[in-house]
């Protein structure tokens, strides 16, 4: 019997797809669930897989690889999609695709199946990852093939075949990992609707946060976070600690109507408490340690990097080349940043680095002996020369009266 690898979550879609794959193709279904930090969602998976007819289930703990090989490179790049979205779902998909391919090759499977819909970005991210790593394996996307068009029809499909499915219904479509939690659908489909205060699961609404600010210090080495409040922490523990601190103070909530790759706009509300803290701290340290032309050029690179991650082009020579550039810029991004967390805000409260380019002797408003203010006159004359020449031409030619 031929084998298919199924990206598995244990929900309604996974249960129905398992039956559909067996019924339509006669495949032996091998399910793969990636542990990216979604917590208790993973606990009942083995029981669900057994009841839905899965032949074998892999539950892969990819949390540390996710942080070190996907989150941290994107953080060092400063990549943010459309000014708000910290790419929590986007860079999870190529890692899952990578593991799906590895298990497909190990098991000798002929196909990989995912449950992403034809309206979303994830179908692109999964499939680009699979194609980049194994161009020969078949990809099956049921939502683009089968006759099921809605959740109600999927439930009926399961009922007719005696498939046990989760009874709890979710108001929102959510994706959770150790970096973020996204919310879409339901009342959020109308951009005029404010998110309800009970929506948030990783933290509290800003108005429900404590009245006293929380201070947190982060240490970075070459652009990578290594400790919180003076304590060296491994990647998983570090991010969990920042998620807790940020969530308690209502930090990291982003509400955005974003431009999906497939052409439509979609409204999402994202919770990224620890990630928001890390981005703020990393940028503050770069302000200290990067020279102006490098910093400004890196801002341009960040936009392209974010777009590539969002669009699923992770496994590409350009992304590797951008990483090489970013890694050079991070050589001196080492130091300590102090942030104040207060009712949803993340405010810089101090930064220092042994490689700081900030020189108080030059920047002071007091008396100094190192900067000759008279030098500025010659600089302004040369910098403004093109404007002066153009103005002279317009005066002499009569273009300007």
pLDDT digits (tens, 9 = 90+) for 154-211: 999 999 988 877 655 567 889 999 999 999 999 999 999 999 999 999 999 999 999 9
Q: Determine whether domain 174-290+332-352 maps to CATH 3.90.1260.10.
A: yes
Q: Spell out the CATH class of 3-169.
A: alpha beta
The pLDDT, as a whole number, for residue 370 is 82
Of 69, 173, 227, 267, catalytic = 173
Of 63, 76, 93, 319, catalytic = 93
What's the CA gap between 98 and 289, in Å, rounded?
35
pLDDT digits (tens, 9 = 90+) for 63-120: 999 999 999 999 999 999 999 999 999 999 999 999 999 999 999 999 999 999 999 9
The residues pairing with 255 across neighbouring beta strands, listed in sequence order, are 269
- Active-site annotation holds for 9: no
Of 9, 13, 63, 125, catalytic = 13
From residue 147, alpha-carbon distances to 20, 37, 154 in Å are 11, 33, 10
What's the CA gap between 76 and 69, in Å, rounded?
11
Task: Assess whether the region 3-169 and the region 174-290+332-352 belong to the same CATH fold.
Answer: no
Q: Which pairing describes strands 181-184 and 265-271: parallel, antiparallel, or unpaired?
A: antiparallel
- Active-site annotation holds for 150: no
- State the pTM of this model: 0.94
Please answer whether residues 20 and 146 qualify as being in contact, where contact means their C-beta atoms are separated by less than 8 angstroms: yes
Helix axis angle, 235-248 relative to 273-289, nearest 10°? 110
From residue 55, alpha-carbon distances to 11, 12, 15, 256 in Å are 17, 18, 13, 40
- Active-site annotation holds for 61: no
The pLDDT, as a whole number, for residue 162 is 87
Using a 10 angstrom Cβ sphere, with 0-12 exposed, 13-18 middle and 19 or more buried, the burial of residue 7 is buried
- Domain residue spans of the chain: 3-169, 174-290+332-352, 362-397
Of 63, 90, 99, 122, catalytic = 122
| Residue spans of the chain under pLDDT 70 | 166-170
- Active-site annotation holds for 13: yes
């Amino acid at each position: 019997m031929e084998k298919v690898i199924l990206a598995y979550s244990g929900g309604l879609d996974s249960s129905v797809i398992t039956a559909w794959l067996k019924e339509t193709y006669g495949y032996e279904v091998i399910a793969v669930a990636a542990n990216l930090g979604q917590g208790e969602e993973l606990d009942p998976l083995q029981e669900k897989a057994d009841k839905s007819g899965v032949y074998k289930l892999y539950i892969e703990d990819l949390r540390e690889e996710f942080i070190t090989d996907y989150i941290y490179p994107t953080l060092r790049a400063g990549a943010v999609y459309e000014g708000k979205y910290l790419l929590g779902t986007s860079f999870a998909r190529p890692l899952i695709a990578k593991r799906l391919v590895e298990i497909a090759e190990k098991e000798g499977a002929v196909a990989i199946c995912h449950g992403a819909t034809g309206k979303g970005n994830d179908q692109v991210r999964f499939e680009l990852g699979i194609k980049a790593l194994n161009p020969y394996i078949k990809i099956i996307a049921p939502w683009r093939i089968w006759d099921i068009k809605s959740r109600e029809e999927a439930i009926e499909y399961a009922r007719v075949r005696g498939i046990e499915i989760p009874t709890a219904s979710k108001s929102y479509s959510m994706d959770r990992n150790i970096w973020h939690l996204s919310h879409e659908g339901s009342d959020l489909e109308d951009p005029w609707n404010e998110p309800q205060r009970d929506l948030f699961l990783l933290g509290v609404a800003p108005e429900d946060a404590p009245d006293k600010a929380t201070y947190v210090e982060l240490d970075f080495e070459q652009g990578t976070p290594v400790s919180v409040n003076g304590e060296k922490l491994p990647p998983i523990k570090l991010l969990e600690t920042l998620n807790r601190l940020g969530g308690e103070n209502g930090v990291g909530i982003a509400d955005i109507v974003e431009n999906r790759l497939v052409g439509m706009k979609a409204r999402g509300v994202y919770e990224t408490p620890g990630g928001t803290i890390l981005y703020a701290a990393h940028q503050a340290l770069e302000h200290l340690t990067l020279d102006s032309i490098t910093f400004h050029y890196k801002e341009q690179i960040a936009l392209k990097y974010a777009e590539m991650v969002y669009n699923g082009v992770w496994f590409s020579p350009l992304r590797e080349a951008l990483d090489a550039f970013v890694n050079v810029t991070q050589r001196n991004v080492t130091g300590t940043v102090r942030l104040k967390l207060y009712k949803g805000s993340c405010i810089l409260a101090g930064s220092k680095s042994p490689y700081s380019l900030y020189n108080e002797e030059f920047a002071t408003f007091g008396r100094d002996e190192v900067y000759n203010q008279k030098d500025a006159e010659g600089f302004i004359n040369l910098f403004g020369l093109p404007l002066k020449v153009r103005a002279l031409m317009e005066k002499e030619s009569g273009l300007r009266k």
